[in-house]
Chain A
Amino acid sequence: MSIILTLLRKEYLIFKCDRAAFALTFLVPALMIYIFGMVFGINRADTGPRGIPLAVVNECDNPAARHLVDVLRAEKGFRIITTTTPDGGAERELEAGDLKPLMRDNVFRFAIVIPSNLIETSSPGVNLKLLSNPRNEIETQTVNGLLQKCIFSNVPQLLGQSMQASMKSMLGGAGKDKFNRNIAGAISESFGVNESEVLRELEAGNFGFDRMTSRDGDAADGGKTKKGNPLGELIKIENEQVVGKDVKSPAAARNVGAWAVMFLLFSVSHLAITLFEEKRAGLLQRLMSSSVRPSHVLWSKFLFGVLLGLVQLMALFCAGRLLYGLDIVSHFGQLLLMSAAAAGACAGFGMLIASIARTSAAAGFLTTLLVMLMSCLGGAWVPVSFMPEVVQKISVFTIPYWVIEGFMQVFWEGGSLARLAPTVGVLCGITLAAMSVAWWRFKRGTIFEP
């Protein structure tokens, strides 16, 4: 027993000396919990997505349509877009024809069109058109849910109007008025309420559906007409998927970027560790005493990282093809370009770690910390649109964000090289920045001192 106690004490003493282990055990989890909490929205009073861009085109002059837009606007989950600024042009109202191109460019992924025939006259019902780019499943489901909530809370009025309209077309204007007056008279007689008030309500379409729907509406899935819900059948939402329709394996195409970036980051950051091993073995001394310069070491490791990353990505994609039928041939050029850019950024990250860490342990620690943080913030685990707006602003400074974005453009949108160029550009910029810092540190730092 005393042997175990002695060994236990030894473990404790060693642990106490190891600052990295100490930080890893106590400080980092606290920090991570805080950041994860922000990302997953644990700390917020009302959780859920924030500001998912939703384009709204209102072609209907009915007041109820305007009301629907207001309801959508009031929903915090959405950021309503109603205008567009074409290249070199002035800002103007969005039109239905603008939607698809903008969606293909990922300016927004969801759009709702309120058609001029929002309220049917031939039969009672409400027409809406929803365009979507379901590049992220969670986001798409959430948007559907939010839309239902907004539409259903607004639906009683819409439906009432719709019924009024269909009555009018059936009975003619005079017949409808008479019908309303009779109903109002009957209600006021039976319930002892003011007849003119009832009539006013009826003419505005308030049939009391709200009291019916408040119960059903919450649980309903009215977007796509649902059996068993009488209201669902009245609301006709035409769903159109604008992007990713032809993708053969949607789930794989959506997730491949997130898989790729985690693999990449971990494997290339191993490069940093090898540098410290070489230093410990005195190999850097030996190299430096010949004609090798620090920059040679930096660039050789970087290039190896890029090649390793490329090969790794290709292996990953081939596995994706074999297992899930991921389409890697249709856009092979873009895929190669994007893979190179991703591998470059990740290798640059590895070299940055190598240049700022002082020991192999510190490098390992920093890698774990930053890869987790960046993956979390960059949207590898939770869609970026679910994060608080502050966090969303930080997301764009992470490598995973752009890698995921790029692979999405390749696999989901089948984007052209031109479409991919900005993303690749950002990744190249990240690479350049990381390598500049690394180069500067390599020149001035102590790693090459024996």
Chain B
Amino acid sequence: MLSIRSITKRFGGFTALDEVSLEISPGECFGLLGPNGAGKTTLMSLIAGLRKPDGGMISPGKSGARASLGLVPQNVALYTDLTAGQNLEIFGKLQGLRGATLRERVGEALEAVQLSERRKDVVKTFSGGMQRRLNLAAALLHRPGLLLCDEPTVGVDPQSRNAIFDYLGQLNRDGLTIIYSTHYMEEAARLCSRIGIIDHGKILALGTLDELLALLPFEDEIIFPNTSETKLFAERMAPHGKLVSENGAQYRFFPQLKLSEFYRRAEELNLPARLFAQQRPTLEAVFLHLTGRTLRDTK
């Protein structure tokens, strides 16, 4: 349905996207996971036809099937001095909706994002989460075939986030193709059938959640507290896997040695097994494995 081939985008001497290739099939929900500055927004704007690439191509072209896409911009792009209803009416009209259809769609969209009662309220009086929901609704009025969501949940309360997720999930089940960018791995894992991990303008890995997890050379990750007793042990284990200190309070360790061997060495230092919590690795671990950095504290 959408084919992105060796797309390159530069800003002056800086390469924001470096030969990115992707295939998106109809009806899928594709997650674009990467830290801030990875190039997610740039890729979205190229797909939406807001920028021209410096190299490569996207097909179909902007005038073809891609003409009917919905974009949920990273910022809240609403006229905040106008009411929710007025905003949706303007965007609906710009999408070519008129009369009864327009009224109907605006009503539906407000209903879907649970803002029907606030229809006549001015947008700047809305909470961040409500504005985000309206931001999403504005992209769906014309029932696009492809929805681009650029970090639609930044700064959103859990309740609004759930509302957005439920709605997107339902739209996807009804056949809408979604490209969803985020730097929250939980979101990508929860919502998306396929995920691309992007960093420094490059797609580092591409696949379903299981496929991505299978890239890891270990089965489990181990979490243990960062205390004076464990310090020496952590230092000793560092060469045998990836060790990350989280907030100085605990370590995450992605072992590249057998677990039995790991626990044997812990015992040598009189560290009891109950200090160590073992868990299935997440996308975070995949990103760490691929880049050597965690998703959050990278720039």
Contacts and interface: CB of A to CB of B under 8 A. Distances in A.
Contacts of A282: 73-77
A450 B77 contact: no
Contact of A289 (B69, B76, B79, B80): B69
A291 B91 CA distance: 10
A281 B77 contact: yes
B204 to A, nearest CB: 24
Nearest to B62: A289
Interface string A274-291: 000000111101111111
A289 B96 contact: no
A194 B273 CA distance: 140
A417 B76 CA distance: 50
B94 A285 contact: no
Interface string B66-88: 01011101111111100000000
Contact of A292 (B41, B67, B74, B94): B94
Interface stretch (B47-55, B208-216, B225-233, B284-292): B47-55
A283 B135 CA distance: 10
A289 B78 contact: no
Contacts of A285: 45, 48, 50, 71, 73, 77
A197 interface: no
Interface in B21-50: 41, 45, 48-50
B76 to A, nearest CB: 7
B78 A283 contact: yes
Given A289-B50, A450-B51, A283 B95 contact: no
B138 interface: yes
A449 interface: yes
Contact of B94 (A280, A291, A448, A449): A291
A290 B50 contact: no
Interface in B138-193: 138-139, 142
B94 A287 contact: yes
A281 B95 contact: no
Interface in A399-450: 448-450
Interface residues of A, number: 15
B62 to A, nearest CB: 10
A286 B91 contact: yes
Contact of B50 (A280, A281, A291, A450): A450
Nearest to A280: B75
Interface string A252-290: 000000000000000000000000000011110111111
Contacts of B71: 285-286, 289
Contacts of B142: 290
Give the interface centre of A280, A281, A289, A449 by most chain B CB atoms within 10 Å.
A289
Interface in A236-265: none
Contacts of B94: 287, 290-292
Contacts of B50: 285, 288-289, 448-450
A290 B77 contact: no
A283 B96 contact: no
Contacts of A290: 91, 94-95, 142
A289 B48 contact: yes
A291 B142 CA distance: 11
Nearest to B48: A289
Contacts of A280: 75
Contacts of B73: 282, 285-286, 450
Interface in A380-399: none
Give the interface centre of B67, B73, B76 by most chain A CB atoms within 10 Å.
B73
Contact of B45 (A281, A287, A291, A450): A450
A156 B95 CA distance: 84
Contacts of A283: 77-79
Contacts of A289: 48-50, 69-71
Lowest 6 A-B CB distances belong to which pairs? A282-B75, A282-B77, A289-B71, A282-B73, A286-B77, A289-B48
Given A280-B75, A285-B71, A291-B96, 12 more contacts: A281-B78, A281-B80, A282-B73, A283-B79, A285-B48, A285-B50, A286-B91, A288-B49, A289-B70, A290-B94, A450-B41, A450-B51
Interface of B: 41, 45, 48-51, 67, 69-71, 73-80, 91, 94-96, 138-139, 142
